[in-house]
């Protein structure tokens, strides 16, 4: 845990090596807690991510009346309350920094005869919620905000929401999941379509708990997920795959530093999460994926990465949802490549924990890297000579702007920096990857 530390610095590394154990997947950890809470029976979750975001969800579920036992670091037992068993909380539910936590829980609360008020930290309190509350209102769920579409928001659910057919304008797993969860107790078919398929952990994990979720991709390329309300979730133990979005920092760290070779076992390789690996391979990255297997309805594999001289590429627009959280760290790989890397269809990055396009562009420019920025695209002009490795001068300071992935990205850039890079506001790293500094240093980074 980084907790009370405000700043960290990072400087040149001689290589990233060894076998690295990455913690559990954040998206699946949130869902495992929520779904087991409304299941019938007791679920044992192994490998739950021990991060502040996941604990915000866990604590909110306890406030909603669910008995959750955290047995040891690795195993959590959830006594499900059934499809209508959640209770109105006595306290306001503070989801901290977690967009997934608050948005999915609003859907879950929406399908119960209870009322809950949601709030969050400075960053979450600026993020758009109408993308969730508008469709939930259409399902007859009562939503009260201050007229501005941001937190705090009070949701008064109903035991039988109206079923909804919703065409989402953006590919967003949070929108899709929130509506499907509200549809669990609706009388009829609730269906969500999205322009490109976003991560499908909700669909997979609901199936794991015995709920039939119909999925298809239409001829026009739209992906549709539907379920009929009234089915019961049945408790079933879960093992959480290790988080590819956390592994991303070690993958890029190993690629951009000389003399690196790192292995990471049991990483989730859901097709909607591996856009970064596809892109880095196209850039010339030496990344091996072996021992592909299935764990609890999700594919996992062992990943091995070694130093590679990278070249710029055009990242296809339709790949964005499968690497939406990885663009900050991709810009670091792009900065150290030869040639330019163009990223299109990334307007959603402006609505994450911070405006990730603006903040990454600002930091990269401080590092002497040319960046072109537009409303929904970004082009990074890499520093390396053809088939070479880049270094930067460094010696600057940047704020994370309350964004864990920004903080970890610039600390990773520090690995090729002659003078140290200082990042302020690093406690936010605890939201997704509390052991980031320890893990990076154990394998050859110099962050302190």
- Other Cβ atoms less than 10 A from the Cβ of 221: the count is 10
Q: Single out the residue of 27, 196, 226, 246 in contact with ligand S3P (rule: CB under 6 A).
A: 27
Of residues 195-234, those binding ligand S3P (CB under 6 A): 198-199
Token pair belonging to 400: 């994370």
Q: How far is CA 300 from the centre of its chain?
A: 17
Instruction: Give the nearest distance from C-beta 16 to ligand S3P in angstroms.
Output: 24
Binding region for ligand S3P (CB under 6 A) out of 106-114, 153-161, 172-180, 211-219: 172-180
Binding region for ligand S3P (CB under 6 A) out of 82-90, 157-165, 169-177, 366-374: 169-177
- Other Cβ atoms less than 10 A from the Cβ of 391: the count is 17
In angstroms, the CA 402 to CA 390 distance is 28
**183 vs 444 by CB, closer to ligand S3P:** 183
- 53, 94, 243, 325: the catalytic one is 325
**324 vs 437 by CB, closer to ligand S3P:** 324
Instruction: Give the nearest distance from C-beta 317 to ligand S3P in angstroms.
Output: 15
Strands in 87-239 per DSSP E: 93-94, 115-119, 142-144, 153-156, 165-167, 189-194, 214-217, 223-228, 238-239
29 binds ligand S3P per the rule CB under 6 A: no
Contact 123, 97 (CB under 8 A): yes
Q: Is 99 helix (H, G, I), strand (E, B) or coil?
A: helix
Token pair belonging to 308: 């590679």
**27 vs 50 by CB, closer to ligand S3P:** 27
173 binds ligand S3P per the rule CB under 6 A: yes
Residue 448 designated active-site: no
**17 vs 29 by CB, closer to ligand S3P:** 29
324 binds ligand S3P per the rule CB under 6 A: yes
Instruction: Give the nearest distance from C-beta 397 to ligand S3P in angstroms.
Output: 26
| Overall residue count recorded for the chain in this entry | 448
Angle at 183 between CA 232 and CA 34, to 5 degrees: 60
Burial of residue 190 (number of CB atoms within 10 Å: 0-12, 13-18, 19+): buried
CA distances from residue 311 to 280, 344, 441 in whole angstroms, order as listed: 9, 17, 27
**64 vs 173 by CB, closer to ligand S3P:** 173
**324 vs 334 by CB, closer to ligand S3P:** 324
**198 vs 409 by CB, closer to ligand S3P:** 198
**By CB under 6 A, how many residues form the interface with ligand S3P?**
11
How many CA within 13 A on the CB side of residue 334?
A: 27
Q: How far is CA 165 from the centre of its chain?
A: 26
Instruction: Give the nearest distance from C-beta 104 to ligand S3P in angstroms.
Output: 7
Name the closest residue to ligand S3P (Cβ): 27
Q: Single out the residue of 51, 174, 257, 338 in contact with ligand S3P (rule: CB under 6 A).
A: 174
Instruction: Give the nearest distance from C-beta 198 to ligand S3P in angstroms.
Output: 5
**94 vs 325 by CB, closer to ligand S3P:** 325
Instruction: Give the nearest distance from C-beta 131 to ligand S3P in angstroms.
Output: 8
Binding region for ligand S3P (CB under 6 A) out of 170-178, 228-236, 309-317, 420-428: 170-178
DSSP class per residue in 267-307 = EE--GGG-HHHHHHHHTT-EEEEEEEEEETTEEEEEEEEE-
Q: Which residues contact 11 (CB under 8 A, 6 or more apart)?
A: 394, 414, 415, 417, 418, 419, 420, 421, 446
CA distances from residue 144 to 127, 157, 171 in whole angstroms, order as listed: 16, 11, 25
**10 vs 174 by CB, closer to ligand S3P:** 174
Task: Provide the β-strand partners of residue 194.
Answer: 223
What are the φ and ψ backbone dihedral angles of 391, each rounded to 5 degrees? -130, 160
Binding region for ligand S3P (CB under 6 A) out of 115-123, 148-156, 167-175, 335-343: 167-175
Strands in 318-369 per DSSP E: 340-344
Q: Taking CB under 6 A as the rule, which mask of x and - marks residues 327-366 in contact with ligand S3P?
A: ---------------------x------------------
Instruction: Give the nearest distance from C-beta 352 to ligand S3P in angstroms.
Output: 6
DSSP class per residue in 378-393 = EEEE--PPTT----EE
Of residues 63-82, those binding ligand S3P (CB under 6 A): none
Active-site residue list: 325
Instruction: By CB under 6 A, name the binding residues for ligand S3P.
Output: 27, 100, 172-174, 177, 198-199, 324-325, 348
């Amino acid at each position: 845990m980084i907790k009370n530390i405000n700043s960290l610095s990072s400087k040149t590394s001689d290589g990233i090596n060894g076998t690295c154990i990455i913690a559990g997947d954040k998206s699946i950890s949130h869902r495992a807690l929520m779904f087991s809470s409304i299941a019938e029976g007791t679920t044992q979750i192994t490998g739950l991510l021990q991060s502040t975001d996941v604990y915000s969800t866990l604590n909110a579920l306890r406030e909603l009346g669910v008995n959750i036992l955290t047995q040891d670091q690795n195993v959590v037992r959830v006594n499900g309350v059934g499809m209508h068993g959640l209770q109105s909380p006595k306290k306001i539910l503070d989801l901290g920094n977690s967009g997934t936590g608050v948005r999915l829980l609003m859907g879950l609360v929406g399908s119960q005869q209870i009322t809950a008020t949601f709030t969050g930290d400075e960053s979450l309190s600026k993020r758009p919620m109408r993308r969730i509350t508008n469709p939930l209102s259409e399902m007859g769920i009562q939503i009260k905000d201050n007229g501005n579409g941001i937190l705090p928001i009070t949701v008064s659910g109903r035991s039988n929401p109206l079923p909804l057919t919703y065409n989402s304008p953006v590919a967003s797993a949070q929108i899709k999941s929130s509506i499907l969860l509200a549809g669990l107790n609706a009388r009829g078919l609730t269906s969500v379509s999205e322009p490109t398929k976003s991560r499908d952990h909700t669909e997979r994990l609901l199936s794991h708990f015995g709920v039939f979720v119909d999925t298809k991709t239409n001829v026009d390329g739209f992906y549709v997920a539907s379920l009929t309300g009234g089915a019961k979730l049945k408790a079933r133990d879960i093992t959480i795959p290790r988080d590819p979005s956390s592994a991303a920092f070690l993958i890029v760290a190993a690629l951009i530093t000389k003399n690196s070779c790192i292995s990471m076992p049991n990483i989730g390789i859901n097709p909607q999460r591996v856009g970064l690996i596809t892109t880095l391979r196209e850039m010339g990255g030496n990344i091996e994926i072996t021992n592909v297997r299935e764990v609890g309805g999700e594919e996992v594999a062992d990943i091995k990465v070694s130093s590679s001289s990278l070249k710029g590429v055009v990242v296809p627009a339709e790949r964005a949802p499968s690497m939406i959280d990885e663009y900050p760290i991709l810009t670091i790989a792009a900065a150290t490549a030869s040639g330019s890397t163009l990223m299109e269809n990334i307007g959603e990055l402006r609505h994450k924990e911070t405006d990730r396009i603006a903040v990454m562009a600002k930091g990269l420019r401080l590092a002497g890297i040319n960046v072109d920025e537009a409303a929904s695209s970004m082009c990074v002009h890499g520093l390396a000579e053809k088939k070479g490795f880049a270094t930067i001068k460094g010696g600057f300071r940047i704020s994370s702007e309350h964004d864990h992935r920004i903080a970890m990205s610039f600390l990773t850039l520090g690995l090729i920096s002659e003078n140290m890079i200082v990042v302020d506001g690093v406690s936010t790293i605890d939201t997704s990857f509390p052991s980031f500094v320890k893990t990076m240093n154990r394998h050859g980074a110099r962050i302190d």
